[in-house]
Structure 1
Amino acid sequence: MNAEPDPGQGTAGATTVREATLEVLHEYGLTTLFANPGSTEVAFLTDLPESLTFVLALHEGSVVGMATGWALARERPALVQLHTTAGLGNAVGALATARVNRAPLVVLVGQQDRRHLALEPFLTGDLHGLGGDYPVHVAEPAVPQDVPGAVARAHHEAVRGQGPALVVVPQGDWSAPAYPKDTGTPPPERAAAARVVSASGVEDGDVHDLAVLVAGARRPALVTGAGTDSAQGWAALVALAEHLQAPVFQESFGARAGFPQDHPLYAGVLPADRERLRAVLSVHDVVLAAGAPVFRQYQYSPGPLVEPGTRLALITDRPAEAHRSPVELAVLAPVAPALRALVRHLPARSGQEGPGESTERSAGSPETVQAPSTPEPGPRGPLRPAEVMAALAERIDADTVIVEETPSSRPDLHRILPARRPLGYVSAAMGGLGFALPAAAGIRMGAPDRPVVAVVGDGSALYQVQALWSAARYGTGVLFLVLANGRYAIMDRLAEARGGKPPWPAFDQVSLSALAGGLGCPSRQVGSHEDLAAALDEIVPTLRGRTEPVLLDVAVAPDPEFRP
């Protein structure tokens, strides 16, 4: 390895952790990388040197299986990269095989940026024990500068133990100076509530201090998510919102809709980056989250969550969420009863800013919903995702369950297909792909009286395409609407945002309709506006009583304007 630079030198032009790690990989001959990419790995993968060969597989079981075969054939360790909880979880069976087969693997596991790990942002994983006893070694470097050494140690452990050795690397570590004197990293928020009120039941006194805080607000706002997605939760939150005449935001990356998204007070989905989040919430002096965390984020960006003049409070039934949230006051209690008690304590508001003004001011987020709308038809070329969703919105019943897993088209879905009933919207809040196909089948089995439509990207669908067999075998009657652009569009955008190009290829030769047919699920390809209208006109009216699932493989153009 090269001699270490002087630790006293400035950070400008200094060797990064990524550069130092690449030196380690080359020193140990780890120059073929088996991966299925995820966003927490983009910082490492963008603009890979030509000396490092990238091999794409479509599922982590295949990633590790290929690397195992390569390691056994070459009689030396293979290099693997897995995507946080979802990737490591999907790969556990294959890692077990590698251990028993005595295949040495050096496995880099992505993690969210450590500067906000304490707030458990989107895609955070509790990774240390997820692989069970199958890894021969697991390292979670305490600081970014430990990463290169941890990778070198993993190589030795993989050879010594003849199995997979894991190194968990937060995504922000790759760009950190490898030998810093002073990184200049701003301190994170204090990841703890200033005060927690705990109540197993809900007495009026339990919400007294919260009521005082909210009553003193000039422009309060509410944030909600899966914790109020029930008939009781919707009713209680609607009553509070109307009592306060306060806008209600949906948490970013929410698993379920906690408020009717066609209600006049619905203000849209909160941005998933701090700069836009601060802008959206800056007009509000008190923000109360109910049944949602404070606040889920995606890529790390510096600065506080909210402006100094915005006070935060929380109602949750999850102890960990109450204690880690950076709020002034957290009430740990059943959410719907606490909301009802809060209404009893608060005077009704009149003459306050109406929902229209708040919603308009909140439009800094690309996911913010002013009202459901249908885009104007485009030229008779490739379909756009928004056009597909608009055609669906025109035809489905209000109680249809939309199961979403289309990351690059999620803002369009929130705008065009609002949840109008409890359980009207379901998604994977953890962020791992492979949720929608099996979840949609399970929801239909559990709620056979409700129509179910899964709106899924083709990349997402490939993670659990096997679920189509079960959907057909057990007569679920789900409409699987696959938006096929032949690539990991959100990953492409993330790489472009870093000013580089990705190493992964497109997979536009994959046919979801052919895969569905092979798994016993009826399917058809849709390539035009006319085909789409005809298919939906035929299928949607049958969804309530349908027992046979069907997959529509809809060719769409990637959205060039999407911003992760």
Structure 2
Amino acid sequence: MTAAGGTGRTVRDATLDVLREFGLTTLFTNPGSTEIPFLTDLPDDIRPVLALHEGSVVGMATGWAIARGGPALVQLHTTAGLGNAVGALATARANRAPLVVLVGQQDRRHLATEPFLAGRLRGLAGDYPVGTDEPATAQDVPGAVARAHHAAVHGRGPALVIVPVDDWARPAADGAERAAASRVARGAAADPSGPAEIAALIDTAAAPALVTGAGTDTGDGWAALVALAERIGAPVHQESFGARAGFPQDHPLFAGILPADRPGLRAALAGHDAVVAVGAPVFRQYMFAEGPLVEPGTRLALLTDDPAEAHRSPVELAVLGPLPAALRAVTERVRAREPRPSAGEDRPGAQAAAAPPAGGGGPLPPAHVFAELARRARPDTVIVEETPSSRPDLHRHLPARRPLGFLSAAMGGLGFALPGAIGVRMARPDRPVIAVVGDGSCLYQVQALWSAAHYRAGVLVAVLSNGCYAVMDRLAERAGGKPSWPPFEEVSVAALARGLGCTARRVTTHAELTDALDAILPALHDRRDPVLLDIAVATDASFQP
């Protein structure tokens, strides 16, 4: 491509240099006409990854960014592409995944007349982007992309840059000052006054407890939180509906997943006169129930690196700072004490329980599937979950034993786990990856299987097929009625997978399950091609969302 009216460097050339500068050389996309000038004849060092729906594009990029520990690059097609991706962008924001998102727009020269494909793009994704930039001139596109990188990394979410189609061929502003920093560094030290106050609150408590979540799901985060928990002998709870495990769930001090309702939450934290949340909201709930979050007399504090989380939490003290450094500062100041006798006892998720009986014929219990997975999965396996009606069983049988051991959609919308698992495997080929999804969840982004097959992302997709939306059925029953929507038992996920180029197998018995897992799990770490198991499971009538 040459600059319009000349042979010099173009805005596209300058933008490609910015992408190289920040390591944004893998591009997740589902292209349209407004993206053609950028995507045609990409240089060899820019790797395009095609997905067949924008939800898959953003889901794969989100998994990639989380697993890689750095930003991912996305390109979307004007209104239709951005509109299709909004739910996935909301998940990326809630999952703290930094994404630099290029959004195509019609030609600047006739935007005022709202031509075909012109998009009213600013605001289309609501408040979910951490930044939205519409460069005033074509020459500011490279700077806008650099600023989006900084916004995505430090705001920990998707940052959008809207680029009209004709901008790419415009002459670059060579020699002009770029309105973006080359490097932005976040301070590594925590203000000592905040950790000192957290330590003082813990020291004055008779029975402190800790709650954690996605914010400490790193090697440094796990080590720092383990050191604090062991020093004060406090149980560590995982936030409800947590998207990532912030503490080793096979540790003796792990106390399980907090309930997502206020009565259950109060009961779980009863007996603790101080609760400090670390890298987790205070407190994530589902259905509203009357009453306070905790019993009267329980003091609440928060240690977080997320300003919005700090500002909205109903706590007496919120300390904002880099988590590993702040945790180490608290540990240095707090007095040591022995673990409470009850800490870690009967904790759910602490270890894989024995498999329940398979029974005579018929569908398998989901817990049985999880127990068989747990018997064979390596400790460094990444479990990417989207099976709402059986999630409690998954936590009980498949604890996270390494950082990035568990990943789910913090926003709660369906369609993340399948593309997310593919993105994780592409970014971290050194880790085995298992996506555990319901058949209803799988159908939201089943197109992602084509990308897994084409790019040889060797994930195992374990689909728990009960032919219905079990959570919705239970909610209808709780409301005193019955579902007005039909089941979809005639859908064959295995057939859909094979049609998208993915190896698939239907599993209906215990013997078929163990045979399949024995064949797949030992070699999953080195597997290059995806495989899907369509497992017939029973609907747990006792589950209550």
Aligned to 2:349: 369
Q: Give 1:351 shift.
A: 6.6
Do structure 1's residue 514 and structure 2's residue 502 form an aligned pair? no
| Paired AA for residue 286 in structure 1 | A
Q: Give 1:247 shift.
A: 0.5
Distance in 1 (CA, whole Å) between partners of 2:470 and 2:236 is 30
Q: How many residues align structurally?
A: 382
Aligned to 1:463: 444
Contact 1:95 1:135 in 2 (8 A): no
Distance in 2 (CA, whole Å) between partners of 1:256 and 1:426 is 5
Equivalent runs, 1:342-361 vs 2, <5 Å: 342-350=330-338, 352-356=340-344, 359-360=345-346
Aligned to 2:181: none
Distance in 2 (CA, whole Å) between partners of 1:284 and 1:450 is 37
Equivalent runs, 1:96-495 vs 2, <5 Å: 133=120, 201-350=189-338, 352-356=340-344, 359-360=345-346, 368-369=348-349, 371-381=351-361, 382-495=363-476
Distance in 2 (CA, whole Å) between partners of 1:471 and 1:378 is 32
Deviations 1:313-349 (A, max 9, x none): 0000011110110001010000111110000001100
Distance in 2 (CA, whole Å) between partners of 1:397 and 1:216 is 41
Aligned to 1:548: 529
Contact 2:249 2:350 in 1 (8 A): no
Contact 2:301 2:315 in 1 (8 A): yes
Cα gap change, 1:535 to 1:330, in 2 (>3 Å): same
Cα gap change, 1:290 to 1:230, in 2 (>3 Å): same
Contact 1:262 1:372 in 2 (8 A): no
Structure 2 unmatched ranges of 5 or more: 1-52, 56-75, 88-93, 95-118, 127-185
Q: Give 1:352 shift.
A: 3.7
Distance in 1 (CA, whole Å) between partners of 2:484 and 2:525 is 44
Q: Paired residue for 1:93, among 80, 84, 88?
A: 80
Contact 2:373 2:517 in 1 (8 A): yes
Distance in 1 (CA, whole Å) between partners of 2:381 and 2:124 is 47
Cα gap change, 1:204 to 1:458, in 2 (>3 Å): same
Task: Give the SS at the match of 2:376.
Answer: coil
Contact 2:349 2:398 in 1 (8 A): no
Q: Give 1:208 shift.
A: 1.4
Task: Give the SS at the match of 1:283.
Answer: coil
Distance in 2 (CA, whole Å) between partners of 1:212 and 1:136 is 44
Deviations 1:17-62 (A, max 9, x none): xxxxxxxxxxxxxxxxxxxxxxxxxxxxxxxxxxxxxxxxxx999x
Distance in 2 (CA, whole Å) between partners of 1:372 and 1:391 is 9
Cα gap change, 1:351 to 1:485, in 2 (>3 Å): closer
Deviations 1:225-265 (A, max 9, x none): 11000000000000001001110000111111000000000
Task: Give the SS at the match of 1:314.
Answer: strand
Q: Give 1:203 shift.
A: 4.1
Contact 2:458 2:530 in 1 (8 A): yes
Task: Give the SS at the match of 2:471.
Answer: helix
Structure 1 unmatched ranges of 5 or more: 1-58, 62-88, 98-108, 110-119, 121-131, 140-197
Contact 1:281 1:306 in 2 (8 A): yes
Distance in 1 (CA, whole Å) between partners of 2:408 and 2:502 is 22
| Paired AA for residue 466 in structure 1 | Q
Q: Normalised by the size of structure 2, how large is the TM-score?
A: 0.66
Equivalent runs, 1:20-35 vs 2, <5 Å: none
Cα gap change, 1:269 to 1:470, in 2 (>3 Å): same
Aligned to 1:71: none
Cα gap change, 1:293 to 1:199, in 2 (>3 Å): farther
Query: RMSD of aligned C-alpha atoms?
Result: 2.9
Contact 1:219 1:353 in 2 (8 A): no
Contact 1:455 1:481 in 2 (8 A): yes
| Paired AA for residue 458 in structure 1 | D
Contact 1:199 1:206 in 2 (8 A): no
Q: Give 1:204 shift.
A: 3.1
Q: Give 1:205 shift.
A: 3.0
Aligned to 1:70: none
Cα gap change, 1:445 to 1:334, in 2 (>3 Å): same
Cα gap change, 1:464 to 1:205, in 2 (>3 Å): same
Aligned to 2:160: none
| Paired AA for residue 538 in structure 1 | A
Aligned to 2:42: none
Distance in 1 (CA, whole Å) between partners of 2:220 and 2:289 is 36
Task: Give the SS at the match of 1:428.
Answer: coil
Distance in 1 (CA, whole Å) between partners of 2:276 and 2:430 is 34
Distance in 2 (CA, whole Å) between partners of 1:351 and 1:534 is 43
Contact 1:385 1:556 in 2 (8 A): yes
Contact 1:207 1:331 in 2 (8 A): yes
Cα gap change, 1:274 to 1:494, in 2 (>3 Å): same
